[in-house]
Chains A and B, each alone.
Chain A
Amino acid sequence: MPKIAIVEDDLAIAQMYRMKFEAEGYHVDIAENGKLGLGLCEQMKPDLVLLDLMMPEMNGDEMLEKMRATDWGKSIKVIILTNVGEQEAPEKLKSLNVRAYIVKAEMTPKQVAELARQQLATA
């Protein structure tokens, strides 16, 4: 069963995606910030991370940078799901092997889920 980690401080959003992905047969876990997200991913070794950027304790870009520096996390697929426009996104994201960058206001949950499915299906 493919595993998805959702790292998102807005619990309403995280829960909605958890239910949506679980209904599709994925195993899903949630972390509320980057610090917890890093721990979750190390333990879970997910196939895909749905990662918010602006979060308390540790932002998503910082978490991703730390994850990419590890053996276990350097090739985990990551989709950014954020309110921050791509042009305003932290510069370092470009070098952190992000599979897709989604601004919440630009896509529906259905489109996000399709993108996640596509990423899980590709190498």
Chain B
Amino acid sequence: MQDRIAHRLHDFDSGKIRQAFELAKEIPNQIDLSIGFPEENTPEEVKQAGITAIQQNHTTYLPTNGLAELRQSIAQKLAAENNIRSSAEDITVTPGLTTAILLCYLAILNPGDEIILPQPMFPPYYELTKLAGAVPVPLETFPDFQLSAELIARKITEKTKAIVINSPNNPTGAVYDEDELRKIAGLAKQHGIIIISDEIYEYFSFDKPHFSIGSIYEGTITLNGFSKAYAMTGWRVGYICAPPDIVEAINQLQQYIVFSTSSIAQYAAVKALETPPIYLTDKYKQKRDLAVSTLSDVFPEIHGGQGAFYLFLKLPDGLEDIKVVNQLSHSGVIVLPGSAFCGRTDYIRISFAGDMDALRTGLERLKESIAALLRNSP
């Protein structure tokens, strides 16, 4: 039976994230500290725009690269907020950011090309590299999760085609300094390396301003979307801003892979860009601060967490991520094992995106579970 499935999937691994979803389904009244979406709902005016799009029969295919009005609005947003100069033709709209990653990879990576992937990282970056026939080059950022030009330089070879930058970062919450990003841009320019900059958490930066590397380096592919900023994870709408040759290649791929992102979602996204993002700085910063202060005695060295809505926590010596995940699940709390995001088993990822009261309870149970495991570890 194995022969029914293509060989390219033999070592394709999406299991650990799926296991967490499966675990969550089995637990009644759970406190989910694994979630990757804000607690808010899609803004009412955005929902209404989607409803109106349906009522006005905007339910047919749109151009492969997206609704012109939306691309124009995205270009204006990138200029105003990110200092990225682009036109509507440099933008292509995708069904979410994960599809955008695949499209970028297929457009730029040849078999054998190397792509530098800072670790820990959002799992699709690694797995889709292999799917594209390219070579993932992990770059460890432990323990502080900060990326530097110096670290990257050590991994560059003549086969290096691209590097992925994700700031604010999933799963670590790290936000990279503008100074360091400028150095990285210089290094990339020197070696002719493409930068793929995933900025989906741009509004979730608590301690320093978000900086878009695409504002200073023209060899940047900027990825973003509406899921986090407008609580639109289920609408599946993201976008790519890239140099013209790359956008054209991606559009060719989209023609046969996607054809056209949901028209309803795109009309809603136009409205979203006329609306303030749902992100409320103080609210998520308070949740981050609560998580850090509650956990600091159990996890004495908490790094990252300057942005996004995650903490990547180093477990006390001797504890293994899967065992902590299991232990917590008995008290109804879901977290993700660190090994879903890197090759190490001594971390877990928690999300503080959810409701404050549930977060408070979940954090206390996390502390109790760690204490129970430590009491009973050999």
Contact = CB atoms under 8 A, between A and B. Distances in A.
A97 to B, nearest CB: 24
A54 to B, nearest CB: 9
A2 interface: no
Contacts of A19: 28-29
Nearest to B368: A10
Given A13-B331, A108-B26, A110-B26, A85 B365 contact: no
A108 B29 CA distance: 16
Contacts of A85: 376, 378
A18 to B, nearest CB: 9
Given A13-B330, A84-B376, A105 B27 contact: no
B375 A20 contact: no
Interface in B294-347: 323-324, 326-327, 329-332
B331 A16 contact: yes
Nearest to A21: B28
A12 B365 contact: yes
Interface residues of B, number: 21
Interface in B343-378: 365, 368, 372-373, 375-376, 378
B347 to A, nearest CB: 16
Interface string A85-101: 10010000000000000
B375 A16 contact: no
A85 B376 CA distance: 7
Given A16-B27, A16-B29, A19-B28, A109 B376 contact: no
Contacts of B331: 10, 12-13, 16
A109 B373 contact: no
A109 B332 CA distance: 9
Contacts of A88: 376
A88 B376 CA distance: 9
B178 to A, nearest CB: 42
A113 B271 CA distance: 47
Given A16-B29, A19-B29, A83-B373, A108 B329 contact: yes
B26 A104 contact: no
Most buried by B among A20, A85, A109, A110: A109
B326 A108 contact: yes
Contact of B327 (A84, A104, A110, A113): A104
A123 interface: no
Contact of B330 (A23, A84, A104): A104
A106 B376 contact: no
Contacts of A105: 323-324, 326-327, 373
Counting from the closest, the 9 A-B pairs by CB-CB distance are A105-B323, A19-B28, A12-B331, A110-B26, A16-B332, A105-B327, A83-B376, A83-B372, A13-B330
